Chain A
Amino acid sequence: MLFGKNRKDEDYYLKKAIGGKREGFEYLVATYQKLAYTLAIKICGNNEDAEEVVQDSFMKAFRALDQFRSAAKFSTWLYKIVYYTALTKKNSKRLETTKLAEDSGTESYLLDEKREISSLIQSDRKRYIDLALSRLGEEERSAVTLHYLGEKSISEIAEILGIGKSAVKMRLMRGREKLEQSLRSLLGNEIKDL
């Protein structure tokens, strides 16, 4: 299990980090960085922005580390910061590029198609799944990432995304359905078990 690590261990290392011990920081950073990075990259779409977002978020979260007594609450808060920082980053980038993109609507569509085709040609399973995930809406994608990769509960996801539990359930259900359809069309028989 990647993220369902023992809560007690996390609480123990959280206390160590609050006490200023390096091993506490090492454990927390190692435990949370993968999901934070995955979440950021799924929203921002590139490594550079994702790294910037993760670093900013970790710095913000660790500034208030000693106000937390439970690692679960700290991680939920950290992922919430990652989510909103990534959204802000993406929106600011979008504003910068809107003017350029306005004139080249067809071109960008063709580029997207080209990108999809080149991804298919590369015959890489990860790319197919990435492509299927990128076809989801932003909130569906984040919910799916947090639920399936981060093993977060519905209530934790609701807190991170700042929406209700029923909305999370809805997004997960819709996301799953869309993902299944996309994967079936992309991977065919490989995923007949889904």
Chain B
Amino acid sequence: MMSREKMKNIDPLAELLKQELLDAPSAKFSDQLLHASMTSYRISYSKRYQKEERLGKVILAVLIFFNLMILVELNPFGADSALLIGVLASVLLVFGCSIHYLTQYPRAIIK
């Protein structure tokens, strides 16, 4: 079988057809198509990862619960109050960032 490049070089029919027959959709339709394609991908992406998102949230909640349990066991009220505030702030920050990332990522992926 001849290579496509070789065939193209010796085949005037290919050039003739290409010049005359290639239809281009309107600019308005191209914009619509771009928007439809992006939306379609975004929706399918969110649907596909919805279950994983929920599972992630549950795992995160369990981990945070056990961390708090450990914190209670360590009796932080008996320790320095500055250390307690620092630890609580860190826990809240990690929790907030994780929830924000998990909920926003599927929507934010299409910029």
User: Which A residues lie within 8 Å of B24 (CB)?
Assistant: 34, 37
A11 at the interface (CB under 8 A from B): no
- Whether A58 lies near B40 (C-beta < 8 A) is yes
Interface size class of B (residues with CB under 8 A): 20 to 34
Q: Which of A54, A61, A63, A180 has the most CB of B within 10 A?
A: A63
Which residues does chain A contribute within 8 Å of B44, judged by CB atoms?
Answer: 62-64
For the residues of A in contact with B, the DSSP-based class is helix
Contacts of A180 in B (CB 8 A): 13
A130 touches B40 (CB 8 A): no
A163 to B60, CA, bound (A): 51
Please name all residues of chain B whose beta carbon is closer than 8 Å to the beta carbon of A59 when the two chains form the complex.
36-37, 40
Give B residues with C-beta under 8 Å from A. Answer: 1, 4-5, 8, 12-14, 16-18, 20-25, 29-30, 32-34, 36-38, 40-45, 108-111
- 5 of the cross-chain contacts (CB-CB < 8 Å) are A4-B4, A34-B24, A34-B25, A64-B44, A130-B20
Give bound CA distance, A176 to B20, whole Å: 16
Q: Are A29 and B20 in contact (CB under 8 A)?
A: no
Which residue of the partner chain, among A21, A28, A30, A179, contacts B13 with CB atoms under 8 Å? A179
A75 to chain B, nearest CB (A): 13
B30, A30: Cβ atoms closer than 8 Å: yes
Give the total of A residues in contact with B, Cβ under 8 Å.
50
| Among listed A94-102, A106-114, A147-155, interface-contacting one | A147-155
CB distance from A148 to the nearest CB of B (A): 4
Question: Assuming the A-B contacts A20-B109, A34-B23, A62-B41, are A149 and B18 also in contact, with contact meaning beta carbons closer than 8 angstroms in the complex?
Answer: yes
- Binary per-residue interface labels of chain A (48-80) against chain B in the complex, 1 for a CB within 8 Å, 0 otherwise: 001100110011111111100000000000000
Per-residue CB contact flags for chain A residues 162-194 toward chain B (1 = under 8 Å, else 0) read 000000000000001001100100000001011
- Complex interface: chain B residues within 8 A of A35 (CB): 22
Chain A residues positioned under 8 Å from B1 (CB to CB): 154
Distance A54 CA – B37 CA, assembled complex (angstroms): 11
**A5 in the interface (beta carbon within 8 A):** no
Within the complex, the shortest CB–CB distance from A43 to chain B, in Å, comes to 12
Using Cβ atoms and an 8 Å threshold, which residues of chain A touch B5?
Answer: 4
In the complex, chain A residues whose CB is within 8 Å of the CB of B29: 51
Whether the pair A149, B34 counts as a contact (CB closer than 8 A) is no
- Are A65 and B33 in touch, CB under 8 angstroms? no
Are B25 and A33 closer than 8 Å at their CB atoms? yes
CB-CB < 8 A to A87: which residues of B? none
Residue of B nearest to A165 (CB): B1
Partner of A58 from the list B4, B37, B45, B110 (CB cut-off 8 Å) is B37
